[in-house]
Amino acid sequence: MSSKITKIRNALVAVTILFAITFFLGSCGQVSEVSDASDTSSDESSTSNGGTNDSTLSAPANLTATATTGTATLVWDAVSGASSYTLFWSTSSGVTSSSSSITSISTDNYTHTSLSNGSTYYYKVAAIDSAGTGTLSSEVSASPVLSVPANITATAGVSLNTLDWDNVTGASSYALYWGTSSGITSSSSSITSISTDNYTHSSLTNGTAYYYKVAAVDASSTGTLSAEVSASPVNPLMGGAIQSGPLTLSTKVTTFAGSGSTGSADNTDATLATFKYPHGITTDGTNLYIADNDNNIIRQIVISSGEVTTIAGTGSICYSNIECDGTGTSALTYYPMGITTDGINLYWSDYKNHTIRQMVLSSGAVTTLAGSTNSSGSSDSTDGTGSTARFNSPYGLTTDGTNLYVADQLNHMIRKIIISSGEVSTVAGSTTSGGDDLTGTNASFYQPRGITMDGTNLYVAELYRVRKIVISTGAVTTLAGPTGGGSGYPGSFTDSAGNSVKFDELAGITMDGTNLYLAGRTSFSIFKVVISTGAVTTIAGDDCSGCNTYLDHDTGTSARFKYPIGITTDGTYLYVSESNNARIRRIE
């Protein structure tokens, strides 16, 4: 019995020990499973940092995006521990790590290129280390746009403005916006598909201000408008010359037309044509027009080719308005003296008929605008309209396109003709000769010959001095030469200024808008007068005994003239009609 009990006890102990061992081992397994769960939680926490993997790098701070033409430049603060960066981007807001990306960026900045101008791009950046990608930055955006065209300028011309600007990289064309008032916008009138960085805006109204802005264009957008500029087209044809600004002359003198022999031969070679005492000369910038005095004809010279043709007159003289008028060479003239043009018409003075003639250049039609051949030639200064007005040996003419102004030589007066009506009035002077600087008909002149204008003032070359007339008031002053009553006096010319200058028989006068140029007939010289100071210098020829001859020369004052009488400018050169050498000379 005892033995049996002992066996039972031992069996119970064994079971108890086995149970204890099993329980112990079971407890160890539970601890292991808890530890594994804890590790999994830690991994998920790391993954949620940036939404990508195990890196704990912080988000790059101060991310900025700056747009330029076709690019966006991204800059951010460097992240400590980062080996590189990844830039995530999209064309819509809400960039994530699943967006398009640019990887392995080694610096804390990046320029995103080949973008579409006018589109908006959105960005985030994340730092990278060996453990993976860190947290994404805050989002920024940029909208690339074509650069603004720089240095835009507008230069006025005749009925046009020329625009110029700097080329814009990436532009396929340009759009020019314009209007006649300031404040140009993209809603203003526009000229598109300009393929170069300049444009000439033509068919404009002279005297009107035009305003402009320009923008670069590519396939996807139009860039920002430039700064605004403006220009007012002008017609530099004024007073029968091209007044485009101060001439730059070497003073070289050449023969432009005429062989030196007297005659009336036309020729395609200007130097083979012949003239006979050519007097007045004018230009529209393309052609010269000559009052070929002793030939009683009007000549045209094409400046570019030198071709000389006769456009009015036959050489025969006429004695009545009806007989004189006609078309082209069927019209007649009697001792044509002064001549001017407004680009549409020619006007000249029939010196011995005491009339003012008009020729429509497009048709060649010639009519008598004012005066009458019935005038006796005695002192007759009657104002009136058309043939009722009277002149006495009218000499030089000038025009602004609306009015003609005539140097009525032997009446010692300056007359005005309204072109549209033929109405004649007296601007200044009276039949009493003199040199008084007064106003209107209280002033006096002595044989006024050449006359020109700048639109505001008239400038008159009388025998021994140069006078200025303010058109709006009629105030007369002496710009160069002696002042006071009487006829003045001839003198031996030396370069001087103002009233100390002494001239000897002036004839033609022209201007470039800043300076006057005079034909000194019996000084055998060409003079320049600075309007602002009255300073007078000799630019060609030489006032010396026996110098009235003929010589071309590279230096103006070494050249020789024989009675230079008419003068004009095409804006580049001076042209001088030389009566006793039967030539047209050019001063370059």
CB neighbour list of residue 438: distance below 8 Å, 6 or more residues apart: 444, 476
Per-residue pLDDT, 220 = 83
The model's confidence at residue 378, banded by pLDDT at 50, 70 and 90, is low
Per-residue pLDDT, 235 = 82
Per-residue pLDDT, 496 = 83
Please give the torsion angle defined by the CA atoms of residues 225, 229, 233 and 238, in that order, rounded to the nearest 10 degrees. Answer: -170
Per-residue pLDDT, 483 = 85
What's the whole-number mean pLDDT along residues 356-363?
A: 97
Return the sign of the alpha-carbon dihedral for residues 533, 537, 540, 545: positive
26 vs 74, higher pLDDT:
74
CA separation for the pair 588, 584 (Å, rounded)? 13
Q: Is the pLDDT of residue 503 over 60?
A: yes
Per-residue pLDDT, 545 = 60
310 vs 33, higher pLDDT:
310
- 263 sits in the region (left: phi over 0; alpha: psi -120 to 50; else beta) called left
CA separation for the pair 429, 448 (Å, rounded)? 10
Whole-Å CA distances, 37 to 40, 54, 58, 213:
5, 17, 27, 70
Q: Is the pLDDT of residue 3 over 70?
A: no
Whole-Å CA distances, 120 to 145, 194, 266, 308:
10, 27, 72, 67
Per-residue pLDDT, 495 = 77
Instruction: Report the percent of the chain where pLDDT is more than 90.
Output: 77
User: Using alpha carbons only, what angle is made at residue 213 by residues 210 and 216, rounded to the nearest 5 degrees?
Assistant: 145
CA separation for the pair 482, 503 (Å, rounded)? 9
Q: What share of the chain is helix, strand, coil (3-state, %, to 5)?
A: 15, 40, 45
What's the whole-number mean pLDDT along residues 359-365?
A: 97
The model's confidence at residue 31, banded by pLDDT at 50, 70 and 90, is very low
Per-residue pLDDT, 24 = 44
Per-residue pLDDT, 41 = 28
Which stretch of DSSP H or E encloses residue 31? Answer: helix 2-48
The model's confidence at residue 2, banded by pLDDT at 50, 70 and 90, is very low
Look up residue 553 and give its two tokens: 């020369």
Q: Of the ranges 67-71, 248-252, 430-434, 504-508, which is most confident?
A: 248-252
Instruction: Report the percent of the chain where pLDDT is more than 70.
Output: 88
Q: Is the pLDDT of residue 228 over 90?
A: yes
Please give the torsion angle defined by the CA atoms of residues 452, 456, 462 and 464, in that order, rounded to the nearest 10 degrees. Answer: -120
CA separation for the pair 158, 150 (Å, rounded)? 25
Per-residue pLDDT, 552 = 96
Phi–psi pair at 271, nearest 5 degrees: -75, -5
Structure confidence by residue, pLDDT tens digits, 395-437: 999 999 999 999 999 999 999 999 999 999 999 999 999 999 9
Whole-Å CA distances, 180 to 198, 210, 422:
20, 5, 34
CB neighbour list of residue 507: distance below 8 Å, 6 or more residues apart: 449, 450, 461, 518, 519, 520, 521, 564, 565, 566
Chain-centre distance of CA 471, in angstroms? 28
The model's confidence at residue 506, banded by pLDDT at 50, 70 and 90, is very high
- 240 sits in the region (left: phi over 0; alpha: psi -120 to 50; else beta) called left
Per-residue pLDDT, 375 = 66
Structure confidence by residue, pLDDT tens digits, 119-130: 999 999 999 999
What's the whole-number mean pLDDT along residues 386-395?
A: 95
What's the whole-number mean pLDDT along residues 90-104?
A: 97
Per-residue pLDDT, 33 = 34
Q: Is the pLDDT of residue 370 over 80?
A: yes
8 vs 183, higher pLDDT:
183
Per-residue pLDDT, 447 = 95
Helical ranges in 400-460 per DSSP H: none
Question: Over the chain, what is the mean pLDDT?
Answer: 89
Structure confidence by residue, pLDDT tens digits, 157-192: 878 999 999 999 889 999 999 999 999 999 999 999
5 vs 401, higher pLDDT:
401
| Amino acid occupying residue 564 | P
Structure confidence by residue, pLDDT tens digits, 198-219: 999 999 988 899 999 999 999 8
Look up residue 175 and give its two tokens: 């759009």
Structure confidence by residue, pLDDT tens digits, 253-305: 999 999 999 999 999 999 999 999 999 999 999 999 999 999 999 999 999 99
The model's confidence at residue 44, banded by pLDDT at 50, 70 and 90, is very low
